[in-house]
């Protein structure tokens, strides 16, 4: 979890969950709100705590799925995956805590700073492919690889959100919302057609993300989610035009965006195609404007202290120069 810079707690936000003192908001979505905190001793490394909305907590079916989600996430570990550190699926409002990584979601980076250079796209794809390899090795399919679920940090890219993952045998193990599982603009052809989803589906959607990261445009064009999903479903008849992409990326994109799942490389092979030995910490891998935005988020997060709940003395005043 993580992504945008911290925001002050609202009046109706809780101040403490299971001994974790909540210090700031760092995200909000349909399932719940994510807060910045630290270990129960208040001195440990930063933690992102996701608190589930009350309307979902009232559903016993949701609770069972959430508990399975947590157990599945704890079984997956590997590079570029944010690890679960604590949870309580039986609480009045269930919650899940992970390591906090200060960073910028890829979607925000593309919207605010434009396409990424080819070498950065290769690094991003390599890191995400390593993460997916760990997911697949553990027996799961992520099912929602998209720009909003890839976090850019100084340490490299991070794959987020196991909220709709499935076991590789097709058994649903994690939380779903509504009838559409996944994001239509970032589905594989087989997913869009309602067929069995395998690890090869994640490879296809990673190819979509890489293609968009390089040009700022979706390879299947503009339009609503279902319109784009329909084009993806027909990729065997009308594949995307990759001529605008840098030559260094075309081989990778052509391989990952192949219509037939059995013809795509594995996630581990994708990492190798990208150059799997990238040292993100040493490489200065992000372009300067994106790196500056990531640094600003990290600095703002570091300034969040236990007095963040008091607007007269907390971190927000210090950031504004008011205190």
Secondary structure of the chain as H, E, C letters: CCCCCCECCCCCCCCEECCEECCEEEEECCCEEEEEECCCCCCCCCEEEEEECHHHHCCHHHHHHHHHHHHHHHHCCCCCECCEEEEECCCCCCEEEEECCCCEEHHHHHHHHCCCCHHHHHHHHHHHHHHHHHHHHCCEECCCCCHHHEEEECCEEEECCCCCCEECCCCECCCCCCCCCCCHHHCCHHHHCCCCCCHHHHHHHHHHHHHHHHHCCCCCCCCCHHHHHHHHHCCCCCCCCCCCCCHHHHHHHHHHCCCCHHHCCCHHHHHHHHCCCCCHHHHCCCCHHHHHHHHHHHHHHHCCCHHHHCCCCCHHHHHHCCC
Count of the separate structural domains present in the chain: 2
Q: Kindly state the average pLDDT of the residues 190-214.
A: 97
The count of other CB atoms within 10 Å of the CB of residue 111 is 11
Q: Are residues 207 and 114 in the same domain?
A: yes
The yes-or-no verdict on residue 216 having pLDDT over 90 is: yes
CA distance 101 to 155: 9
Q: Are residues 162 and 248 in the same domain?
A: yes
What share of the chain in percent tops pLDDT 90?
A: 67
Inside any domain, residue 289: no
Inside any domain, residue 11: no
Inside any domain, residue 272: yes
Q: Are residues 151 and 242 in the same domain?
A: yes
- Confidence category of residue 162, pLDDT binned at 50, 70, 90: low
Q: Are residues 299 and 253 in the same domain?
A: no
Q: Are residues 116 and 78 in the same domain?
A: no
Q: Are residues 234 and 158 in the same domain?
A: yes
Inside any domain, residue 89: yes
Q: Are residues 109 and 96 in the same domain?
A: no
Inside any domain, residue 1: no
Query: How would you list the strands of the sheet with 104-105, edge to edge?
Result: 104-105, 150-153, 156-159
50 assigned ligand-binding residue: yes
**What residues are annotated to the active site?**
144
What share of the chain in percent tops pLDDT 70?
A: 84
Q: Are residues 20 and 41 in the same domain?
A: yes
Inside any domain, residue 63: yes
Question: Tokens 């600095």 — which residue?
Answer: 299
Q: Are residues 114 and 238 in the same domain?
A: yes
Q: Are residues 95 and 20 in the same domain?
A: yes
- Confidence category of residue 201, pLDDT binned at 50, 70, 90: very high
Q: Are residues 209 and 265 in the same domain?
A: yes
pLDDT 10s digits, 226-276 = 999 999 999 999 999 999 899 989 999 999 999 999 999 999 999 999 985
CATH number of the domain bearing residue 186: 1.10.510.10
CB 217 within 8 A of CB 165: no
CA distance 135 to 275: 20
Burial of residue 234 (CB within 10 Å: 0-12, 13-18, 19+) is middle
* Model confidence pTM above 0.75: yes
pLDDT 10s digits, 130-159 = 999 999 999 999 999 999 999 999 999 999
- Confidence category of residue 66, pLDDT binned at 50, 70, 90: confident
pLDDT for 250: 94
- Confidence category of residue 40, pLDDT binned at 50, 70, 90: confident
The yes-or-no verdict on residue 321 having pLDDT over 70 is: no
Q: Backbone dihedral region of 80: left (phi > 0), alpha (psi from -120 to 50 degrees) or beta? A: left
Positive/negative CA dihedral, 309, 40, 101, 32: negative
CATH number of the domain bearing residue 53: 3.30.200.20
pLDDT 10s digits, 105-121 = 999 999 999 999 999 99
pLDDT for 96: 93
Q: Note down the domain range covering 43.
A: 16-102+295-307
Q: Are residues 145 and 213 in the same domain?
A: yes
Inside any domain, residue 2: no
Inside any domain, residue 317: no
CB 141 within 8 A of CB 165: yes
Lowest mean pLDDT among 90-104, 165-179, 232-246: 165-179
């Amino acid at each position: 979890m993580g992504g945008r810079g911290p925001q002050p707690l609202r009046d109706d936000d809780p101040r403490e969950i299971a001994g974790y003192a909540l210090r700031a908001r760092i995200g909000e979505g349909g399932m719940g709100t994510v807060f910045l905190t630290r270990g129960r001793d208040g001195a440990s490394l930063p933690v992102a705590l996701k608190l589930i909305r009350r309307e979902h907590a009232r559903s016993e079916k949701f609770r069972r799925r959430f508990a399975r989600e947590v157990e599945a996430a704890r079984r997956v570990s590997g590079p570029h995956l944010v690890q679960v550190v604590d949870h309580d699926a039986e609480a009045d409002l269930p919650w899940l805590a992970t390591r906090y990584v200060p960073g910028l979601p890829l979607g925000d980076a593309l919207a605010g700073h434009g396409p990424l250079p080819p070498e950065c796209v290769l690094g991003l794809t390599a890191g995400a492919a390593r993460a997916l390899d760990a997911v697949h090795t553990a027996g799961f399919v992520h099912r929602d690889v998209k720009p909003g679920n890839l976090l850019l940090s100084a340490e490299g890219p991070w794959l987020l959100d196991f909220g709709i993952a499935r076991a590789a045998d097709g058994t649903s193990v994690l939380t779903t919302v509504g009838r559409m599982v996944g994001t239509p603009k970032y589905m594989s052809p087989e997913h869009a057609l309602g067929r069995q989803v395998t690890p090869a589906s994640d490879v296809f959607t990673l190819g979509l993300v890489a293609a968009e990261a390089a040009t700022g445009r979706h390879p299947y064009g503009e339009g609503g989610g279902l319109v784009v999903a329909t084009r993806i479903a027909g990729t065997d008849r009308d594949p995307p035009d990759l001529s605008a992409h840098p030559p260094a990326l075309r081989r990778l994109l052509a391989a990952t965006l192949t219509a037939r799942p059995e013809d795509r490389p594995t996630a581990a092979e994708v990492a190798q195609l990208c150059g799997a030995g990238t040292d993100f910490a040493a490489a200065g891998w992000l372009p300067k404007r994106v790196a500056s935005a990531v640094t600003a988020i990290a600095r703002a997060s570091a300034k969040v202290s236990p007095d963040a709940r008091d607007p007269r003395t907390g971190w927000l005043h210090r950031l504004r120069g008011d205190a």
